[in-house]
Chains A and B, each alone.
Chain A
Amino acid sequence: MNAHFTPVASLVGGVLIGVSATTMLVLDGKIAGISGIVTGMSEPRRGDFGWRALFVLGLLVGGLIFLWLRPSAIGAASPSLVRIAIAGVLVGVGTQLSGGCTSGHGVCGLSRLSPRSMVATGTFMLAAGLTTYVVMHVLGGGA
Protein backbone atom coordinates (compact mmCIF):
# COMPACT_ATOMS: atom_id res chain seq x y z
CA MET A 1 0.00 0.00 0.00
CA ASN A 2 1.11 3.53 -0.77
CA ALA A 3 3.05 5.18 2.07
CA HIS A 4 1.12 8.43 1.69
CA PHE A 5 -2.31 6.79 2.01
CA THR A 6 -4.45 8.81 4.47
CA PRO A 7 -7.94 7.28 4.44
CA VAL A 8 -9.12 8.72 7.77
CA ALA A 9 -7.91 12.29 7.26
CA SER A 10 -9.21 12.27 3.68
CA LEU A 11 -12.58 10.92 4.76
CA VAL A 12 -12.82 13.63 7.44
CA GLY A 13 -11.90 16.22 4.82
CA GLY A 14 -14.53 14.87 2.46
CA VAL A 15 -17.20 14.98 5.16
CA LEU A 16 -16.32 18.65 5.84
CA ILE A 17 -16.70 19.43 2.13
CA GLY A 18 -20.04 17.61 2.16
CA VAL A 19 -21.16 19.65 5.18
CA SER A 20 -20.12 22.87 3.42
CA ALA A 21 -22.02 21.96 0.24
CA THR A 22 -25.03 21.02 2.35
CA THR A 23 -25.21 24.25 4.37
CA MET A 24 -24.85 26.29 1.17
CA LEU A 25 -27.70 24.38 -0.46
CA VAL A 26 -30.12 23.76 2.41
CA LEU A 27 -29.76 27.23 4.02
CA ASP A 28 -28.76 29.58 1.17
CA GLY A 29 -30.04 27.62 -1.83
CA LYS A 30 -26.69 27.86 -3.62
CA ILE A 31 -24.54 25.22 -5.32
CA ALA A 32 -21.07 25.05 -3.73
CA GLY A 33 -19.25 24.93 -7.06
CA ILE A 34 -16.04 26.89 -6.67
CA SER A 35 -15.47 27.79 -10.32
CA GLY A 36 -19.04 29.11 -10.60
CA ILE A 37 -19.04 31.02 -7.32
CA VAL A 38 -15.77 32.80 -8.08
CA THR A 39 -16.35 33.55 -11.76
CA GLY A 40 -19.85 34.85 -10.98
CA MET A 41 -18.16 37.74 -9.17
CA SER A 42 -17.00 39.13 -12.54
CA GLU A 43 -20.57 40.10 -13.46
CA PRO A 44 -21.86 41.53 -10.20
CA ARG A 45 -25.61 41.77 -9.89
CA ARG A 46 -27.41 43.33 -7.00
CA GLY A 47 -27.78 40.89 -4.11
CA ASP A 48 -25.57 38.34 -5.85
CA PHE A 49 -22.05 39.56 -5.09
CA GLY A 50 -21.70 39.65 -1.32
CA TRP A 51 -22.29 35.96 -0.60
CA ARG A 52 -19.76 35.01 -3.29
CA ALA A 53 -17.14 37.33 -1.80
CA LEU A 54 -17.84 36.01 1.71
CA PHE A 55 -17.55 32.39 0.56
CA VAL A 56 -14.18 33.13 -1.07
CA LEU A 57 -13.08 35.03 2.05
CA GLY A 58 -13.97 31.90 4.06
CA LEU A 59 -11.85 29.80 1.69
CA LEU A 60 -8.86 32.12 2.18
CA VAL A 61 -9.27 32.27 5.97
CA GLY A 62 -9.35 28.47 5.97
CA GLY A 63 -6.11 28.48 4.01
CA LEU A 64 -4.57 30.93 6.47
CA ILE A 65 -5.50 28.64 9.38
CA PHE A 66 -3.54 25.82 7.74
CA LEU A 67 -0.66 28.16 6.97
CA TRP A 68 -0.56 29.11 10.64
CA LEU A 69 -1.15 25.76 12.37
CA ARG A 70 -0.18 23.11 9.85
CA PRO A 71 1.75 24.61 6.91
CA SER A 72 2.69 21.18 5.56
CA ALA A 73 -0.95 20.77 4.46
CA ILE A 74 -0.33 23.31 1.68
CA GLY A 75 2.14 22.07 -0.89
CA ALA A 76 3.50 23.86 -3.94
CA ALA A 77 3.20 22.45 -7.44
CA SER A 78 6.52 21.26 -8.84
CA PRO A 79 6.11 21.57 -12.64
CA SER A 80 7.70 24.42 -14.61
CA LEU A 81 5.93 27.78 -14.62
CA VAL A 82 5.15 27.37 -18.33
CA ARG A 83 3.33 24.12 -17.70
CA ILE A 84 1.52 25.67 -14.73
CA ALA A 85 0.33 28.59 -16.86
CA ILE A 86 -0.89 26.25 -19.61
CA ALA A 87 -2.73 24.15 -17.02
CA GLY A 88 -4.32 27.28 -15.54
CA VAL A 89 -5.64 28.28 -18.97
CA LEU A 90 -7.01 24.78 -19.64
CA VAL A 91 -8.74 24.66 -16.25
CA GLY A 92 -10.15 28.18 -16.68
CA VAL A 93 -11.56 27.60 -20.17
CA GLY A 94 -12.61 24.03 -19.44
CA THR A 95 -14.58 24.70 -16.26
CA GLN A 96 -16.52 27.53 -17.93
CA LEU A 97 -17.32 25.51 -21.08
CA SER A 98 -18.51 22.54 -19.03
CA GLY A 99 -20.12 24.65 -16.31
CA GLY A 100 -18.37 23.23 -13.27
CA CYS A 101 -15.31 21.71 -11.68
CA THR A 102 -14.51 19.00 -9.13
CA SER A 103 -16.87 20.55 -6.58
CA GLY A 104 -19.78 21.69 -8.77
CA HIS A 105 -19.95 18.59 -10.98
CA GLY A 106 -18.01 16.07 -8.90
CA VAL A 107 -19.61 16.64 -5.50
CA CYS A 108 -22.80 18.69 -5.90
CA GLY A 109 -23.85 17.37 -9.33
CA LEU A 110 -23.16 13.71 -8.63
CA SER A 111 -25.07 14.02 -5.34
CA ARG A 112 -28.11 15.23 -7.33
CA LEU A 113 -27.58 12.41 -9.86
CA SER A 114 -27.38 15.08 -12.58
CA PRO A 115 -26.70 13.39 -15.95
CA ARG A 116 -24.59 16.38 -17.09
CA SER A 117 -22.42 16.13 -13.99
CA MET A 118 -22.01 12.37 -14.38
CA VAL A 119 -20.75 12.86 -17.94
CA ALA A 120 -18.52 15.79 -16.92
CA THR A 121 -17.02 14.00 -13.91
CA GLY A 122 -16.36 10.80 -15.84
CA THR A 123 -14.77 12.82 -18.62
CA PHE A 124 -12.49 15.01 -16.51
CA MET A 125 -11.40 12.10 -14.30
CA LEU A 126 -10.49 10.09 -17.40
CA ALA A 127 -8.72 13.06 -19.04
CA ALA A 128 -6.81 13.81 -15.84
CA GLY A 129 -5.80 10.17 -15.40
CA LEU A 130 -4.60 9.85 -19.00
CA THR A 131 -2.71 13.15 -18.78
CA THR A 132 -0.96 12.07 -15.59
CA TYR A 133 -0.11 8.74 -17.19
CA VAL A 134 1.45 10.43 -20.21
CA VAL A 135 3.41 12.90 -18.06
CA MET A 136 4.69 10.29 -15.60
CA HIS A 137 5.19 7.20 -17.74
CA VAL A 138 5.50 8.28 -21.38
CA LEU A 139 7.35 11.59 -21.07
CA GLY A 140 8.97 10.15 -17.97
CA GLY A 141 8.93 12.41 -14.97
CA GLY A 142 7.08 14.80 -12.74
CA ALA A 143 9.15 17.97 -12.90
Chain B
Amino acid sequence: MSASVAHSPAVSTVPAAPTSRLFGVIAFASGLVFALGLGFGGMLQPSKVLGFLDVAGDWDPSLAFVMGGAIGVHFFFARRSLKAPKPLLATSFSWPTAKRIDVPLALGATLFGVGWGLVGYCPGPAIVSIVSAAPSALLFTATMLGTSVVTRRVMSHLRGKEGPSSKTLADVA
Protein backbone atom coordinates (compact mmCIF):
# COMPACT_ATOMS: atom_id res chain seq x y z
CA MET B 1 0.00 0.00 0.00
CA SER B 2 1.25 3.47 -0.83
CA ALA B 3 2.21 5.54 2.17
CA SER B 4 2.75 8.70 0.15
CA VAL B 5 -0.94 9.51 -0.21
CA ALA B 6 -2.15 11.72 2.60
CA HIS B 7 -5.75 11.67 3.68
CA SER B 8 -7.71 14.08 5.75
CA PRO B 9 -9.15 12.12 8.63
CA ALA B 10 -11.86 14.74 9.03
CA VAL B 11 -13.58 13.75 5.79
CA SER B 12 -15.23 10.38 5.87
CA THR B 13 -17.43 8.91 3.20
CA VAL B 14 -17.56 5.50 4.85
CA PRO B 15 -21.11 4.34 5.44
CA ALA B 16 -22.30 3.16 8.85
CA ALA B 17 -20.57 0.07 10.21
CA PRO B 18 -23.12 -2.74 9.63
CA THR B 19 -23.72 -1.75 6.00
CA SER B 20 -20.00 -1.30 5.46
CA ARG B 21 -19.26 -4.76 6.82
CA LEU B 22 -21.91 -6.40 4.64
CA PHE B 23 -20.61 -4.37 1.69
CA GLY B 24 -17.17 -5.92 2.22
CA VAL B 25 -18.59 -9.42 2.67
CA ILE B 26 -20.37 -9.08 -0.67
CA ALA B 27 -17.14 -7.95 -2.34
CA PHE B 28 -15.25 -10.94 -0.93
CA ALA B 29 -18.01 -13.42 -1.86
CA SER B 30 -18.29 -11.94 -5.35
CA GLY B 31 -14.54 -12.31 -5.88
CA LEU B 32 -14.72 -15.91 -4.70
CA VAL B 33 -17.66 -16.78 -6.96
CA PHE B 34 -15.97 -15.01 -9.86
CA ALA B 35 -12.85 -17.17 -9.44
CA LEU B 36 -14.98 -20.33 -9.20
CA GLY B 37 -16.67 -19.28 -12.44
CA LEU B 38 -13.32 -18.80 -14.16
CA GLY B 39 -12.15 -22.22 -12.95
CA PHE B 40 -15.25 -24.17 -13.95
CA GLY B 41 -15.44 -22.24 -17.20
CA GLY B 42 -11.93 -23.32 -18.21
CA MET B 43 -10.50 -19.81 -18.28
CA LEU B 44 -7.67 -20.67 -15.87
CA GLN B 45 -6.13 -22.87 -18.57
CA PRO B 46 -4.33 -20.66 -21.12
CA SER B 47 -4.24 -23.60 -23.56
CA LYS B 48 -8.05 -23.77 -23.48
CA VAL B 49 -8.33 -20.00 -24.00
CA LEU B 50 -6.01 -20.22 -27.02
CA GLY B 51 -8.06 -23.19 -28.26
CA PHE B 52 -11.04 -20.84 -28.31
CA LEU B 53 -9.21 -17.92 -29.92
CA ASP B 54 -7.70 -20.17 -32.62
CA VAL B 55 -10.78 -20.38 -34.81
CA ALA B 56 -8.74 -21.70 -37.74
CA GLY B 57 -7.32 -24.61 -35.74
CA ASP B 58 -9.02 -27.40 -33.79
CA TRP B 59 -11.59 -24.93 -32.47
CA ASP B 60 -12.90 -25.31 -28.91
CA PRO B 61 -16.00 -23.10 -28.64
CA SER B 62 -16.35 -23.60 -24.84
CA LEU B 63 -15.50 -20.04 -23.86
CA ALA B 64 -18.41 -18.72 -25.87
CA PHE B 65 -20.54 -20.56 -23.29
CA VAL B 66 -18.72 -18.74 -20.46
CA MET B 67 -19.46 -15.40 -22.10
CA GLY B 68 -23.04 -16.42 -22.91
CA GLY B 69 -23.74 -17.66 -19.37
CA ALA B 70 -22.28 -14.54 -17.77
CA ILE B 71 -24.09 -12.07 -20.00
CA GLY B 72 -27.27 -14.16 -19.90
CA VAL B 73 -27.43 -13.73 -16.12
CA HIS B 74 -26.09 -10.20 -15.86
CA PHE B 75 -28.01 -8.61 -18.74
CA PHE B 76 -31.36 -8.49 -16.96
CA PHE B 77 -29.95 -7.11 -13.69
CA ALA B 78 -27.66 -4.61 -15.38
CA ARG B 79 -30.55 -3.17 -17.39
CA ARG B 80 -32.67 -2.92 -14.24
CA SER B 81 -29.84 -1.31 -12.28
CA LEU B 82 -29.49 1.42 -14.90
CA LYS B 83 -33.00 2.54 -13.97
CA ALA B 84 -32.66 1.99 -10.21
CA PRO B 85 -31.99 5.04 -7.99
CA LYS B 86 -29.26 3.30 -5.98
CA PRO B 87 -27.82 -0.12 -5.15
CA LEU B 88 -29.12 -1.97 -2.08
CA LEU B 89 -26.02 -1.55 0.13
CA ALA B 90 -24.50 1.70 -1.12
CA THR B 91 -25.53 5.28 -1.74
CA SER B 92 -24.84 5.31 -5.48
CA PHE B 93 -23.78 3.27 -8.48
CA SER B 94 -20.18 3.69 -9.66
CA TRP B 95 -20.95 3.79 -13.38
CA PRO B 96 -18.06 4.35 -15.78
CA THR B 97 -17.76 8.04 -16.70
CA ALA B 98 -16.14 7.68 -20.13
CA LYS B 99 -18.58 7.81 -23.02
CA ARG B 100 -16.59 8.64 -26.12
CA ILE B 101 -15.47 6.07 -28.64
CA ASP B 102 -11.97 7.37 -29.25
CA VAL B 103 -8.44 6.40 -30.23
CA PRO B 104 -7.33 5.28 -26.72
CA LEU B 105 -10.31 2.90 -26.57
CA ALA B 106 -9.54 1.28 -29.92
CA LEU B 107 -5.76 1.30 -29.44
CA GLY B 108 -6.00 -0.06 -25.90
CA ALA B 109 -8.41 -2.83 -26.90
CA THR B 110 -6.08 -3.78 -29.76
CA LEU B 111 -3.01 -3.97 -27.49
CA PHE B 112 -4.97 -5.96 -24.93
CA GLY B 113 -6.22 -8.37 -27.59
CA VAL B 114 -2.70 -8.96 -28.94
CA GLY B 115 -1.39 -9.65 -25.43
CA TRP B 116 -4.31 -11.98 -24.69
CA GLY B 117 -3.78 -13.88 -27.94
CA LEU B 118 -0.02 -14.23 -27.36
CA VAL B 119 -0.37 -16.16 -24.10
CA GLY B 120 -4.01 -16.82 -23.22
CA TYR B 121 -4.17 -14.79 -20.01
CA CYS B 122 -6.51 -11.88 -19.44
CA PRO B 123 -6.39 -10.01 -16.07
CA GLY B 124 -8.84 -12.09 -13.98
CA PRO B 125 -7.46 -15.55 -14.79
CA ALA B 126 -3.87 -14.30 -14.46
CA ILE B 127 -4.45 -12.97 -10.94
CA VAL B 128 -6.31 -16.11 -9.81
CA SER B 129 -3.57 -18.30 -11.27
CA ILE B 130 -0.77 -16.79 -9.17
CA VAL B 131 -1.87 -19.12 -6.33
CA SER B 132 -0.27 -21.97 -8.33
CA ALA B 133 3.07 -20.10 -8.10
CA ALA B 134 3.71 -21.02 -11.75
CA PRO B 135 6.46 -18.71 -13.08
CA SER B 136 4.37 -17.88 -16.16
CA ALA B 137 1.42 -16.67 -14.07
CA LEU B 138 3.63 -14.71 -11.67
CA LEU B 139 5.61 -13.04 -14.45
CA PHE B 140 2.52 -12.17 -16.49
CA THR B 141 0.65 -10.76 -13.49
CA ALA B 142 3.66 -8.75 -12.29
CA THR B 143 4.30 -7.11 -15.68
CA MET B 144 0.56 -6.56 -16.22
CA LEU B 145 -0.02 -4.88 -12.85
CA GLY B 146 3.20 -2.83 -13.05
CA THR B 147 2.40 -1.40 -16.46
CA SER B 148 -1.26 -0.93 -15.51
CA VAL B 149 -0.34 1.31 -12.60
CA VAL B 150 2.20 3.29 -14.64
CA THR B 151 -0.26 3.74 -17.51
CA ARG B 152 -2.97 4.85 -15.11
CA ARG B 153 -0.63 7.42 -13.54
CA VAL B 154 0.46 8.78 -16.92
CA MET B 155 -3.12 9.01 -18.14
CA SER B 156 -4.36 10.88 -15.09
CA HIS B 157 -1.31 13.19 -15.32
CA LEU B 158 -2.08 14.01 -18.97
CA ARG B 159 -5.76 14.47 -18.19
CA GLY B 160 -4.84 16.88 -15.40
CA LYS B 161 -2.86 19.01 -17.89
CA GLU B 162 -5.86 19.35 -20.17
CA GLY B 163 -7.60 21.37 -17.51
CA PRO B 164 -10.11 20.69 -14.80
CA SER B 165 -12.58 18.04 -15.82
CA SER B 166 -15.98 18.11 -14.25
CA LYS B 167 -17.08 14.58 -14.86
CA THR B 168 -19.94 13.46 -12.72
CA LEU B 169 -21.12 9.96 -12.11
CA ALA B 170 -24.56 10.96 -13.24
CA ASP B 171 -23.88 11.70 -16.91
CA VAL B 172 -23.88 8.12 -18.03
CA ALA B 173 -26.32 6.59 -20.46
Contacts and interface: CB of A to CB of B under 8 A. Distances in A.
B123 A38 contact: yes
**Binding site secondary structure of chain A:** helix
Contact of A90 (B88, B112, B128): B112
Interface string B92-115: 111110111100111111111111
Q: Size class of B's contact patch?
A: 35 or more
A61 B28 CA distance: 9
B134 to A, nearest CB: 4
Contact of A62 (B32, B92, B139, B155): B32
A44 B4 CA distance: 10
B111 A51 contact: no
Interface residues of A, number: 119
A81 B139 contact: yes
The binding surface of chain B is classed by DSSP as helix
Contacts of A132: 50, 53-54, 117
Given A31-B95, A111-B71, A58 B27 contact: yes
B40 to A, nearest CB: 4
Given A18-B72, A110-B71, A87 B36 contact: no
Contact of A55 (B27, B87, B106): B27
Nearest to B9: A46
- Listed from nearest, the 5 A-B pairs whose CB atoms lie closest are A14-B69, A58-B31, A62-B35, A13-B41, A127-B113
17 contacts: A11-B69, A14-B66, A17-B66, A28-B30, A29-B86, A29-B92, A52-B27, A74-B131, A77-B137, A78-B47, A84-B119, A88-B115, A91-B111, A98-B109, A99-B96, A115-B101, A131-B118
Given A66-B44, A90-B118, 12 more contacts: A13-B37, A13-B39, A17-B66, A25-B74, A26-B80, A31-B95, A31-B96, A58-B27, A62-B39, A66-B35, A73-B44, A127-B116
